[in-house]
Amino acid sequence: MESLKKKAEEIKSLKIQGATDVALSAIQFLSDYAREFTCSSVVDCINKLQIGKEILEDTRPTEPAMQNGLNFIMNKIRKCQGELCVEDVPGRIEKYKDQYEQLINDSKKRIAEIGARRIPMIKKDANKEKENSLHQDDDFVVMTHCHSSVVNAILLKAKEQGKNFRVVNTETQPKLQGRKTSRKLSKAGIEVIHIVDSAMRWAVKKYQVDLIIIGADSITSEGTVLNKIGSRLLALVAHEEHVPFYVASPLLKYQPITTLGFLEKIEMRNPSEVWKEAPKNVKIKNPAFETVSRRYIDGLITEAGIFASSHAHMYYQKFYPDLAE
């Protein structure tokens, strides 16, 4: 149990970042935990797994991809518990963990293929002078916010296809997750313009951004998206400047309990992330996420295709009926 709590702290402290990476790490930690404990019966094993699941879920309340993954494993193991003995449990957990990981990887690959089609193939003219213009016909500009492995997959796929574009990316205060995106894209040979969060509107106008794509940490039944704080600001800028605004996300980030009236939580993180030695009478608030209304989202890019975010529930039920139960 202590080993699991220590690993869970890696998620809570943001040592592990990005909704997809958090989900994959959580199911791996649960699988590792299943190999560590001893139990007297299969029911006892399931009870201990449930405790481990709750410890992992408590690390990040706004992470349905993680919650869906843990539920996927627990639902599977409960359905087949009658045919198992105690010794079988760790192996089954590992099997279901691998199945969920495959679902995530397959969805990311499919989203990358679909999303990359939104970036046009424009041939560069080597004879053109670019000094006098920030945007020419051979210069497509994509903007993103924070770090999303799914958005990165789209951009890397487009680069692999030989498409010419630049990326404007935010640093993403206070933990600077945007640097992770900038490093990964620049390493792949993509030109990245890295800006402070408060320069969003300036950058959209300055670089004549053609397309904005962000990731998602959660999608509700109403089509509202929760993502890193600053996402709604960027959506409003896109609306004001008439720039297409897309959210790229596996349907596994859909939060099914929102259909029952439950509201998705906004995680409030440690104030010390913002200011470690703030004056005594200064109160620091550090919300990790904010909502983006469906009216500002031109389309949700998923493994099922591109559609209005309000249709997420329908496609989630269709693609993942075991989780929709």
Q: Which has the minimum average pLDDT: 34-38, 75-79, 123-127, 230-234?
A: 123-127
Q: Among 83, 112, 141, which residue terminates a domain?
A: 112
Calpha distance 138→253 (Å, rounded): 35
Closest of 249, 247, 258 to residue 313, by C-alpha: 258
Residue 122 covered by a domain = no
The answer to whether the beta carbons of residues 143 and 203 sit under 8 Å apart is yes
* Model pLDDT, residue 138: 59
Q: Which pairs count as long-range contacts for 303-306, CB under 8 Å and 24+ apart, including other chains?
A: 303/106, 303/107, 303/110, 303/111, 303/114, 303/250, 303/251, 304/251, 305/114, 306/114, 306/246
Active centre residues (catalytic): 146, 217
Residue 91 maps to which CATH number? 1.20.120.420
pTM of the model: 0.87
Same domain, 159 and 277: yes
* Model pLDDT, residue 324: 64
Calpha distance 225→311 (Å, rounded): 12
Same domain, 174 and 207: yes
Q: Which has the minimum average pLDDT: 65-69, 122-126, 191-195, 218-222?
A: 122-126
Same domain, 315 and 220: yes
Q: Give tens-digit pLDDT for 268-320.
A: 999 999 999 999 999 999 999 999 999 999 999 999 999 999 999 999 999 99
With 90 as the cut, is the pLDDT of residue 130 above it? Answer: no
Q: Which residue range forms the structural domain that includes residue 174?
A: 127-324
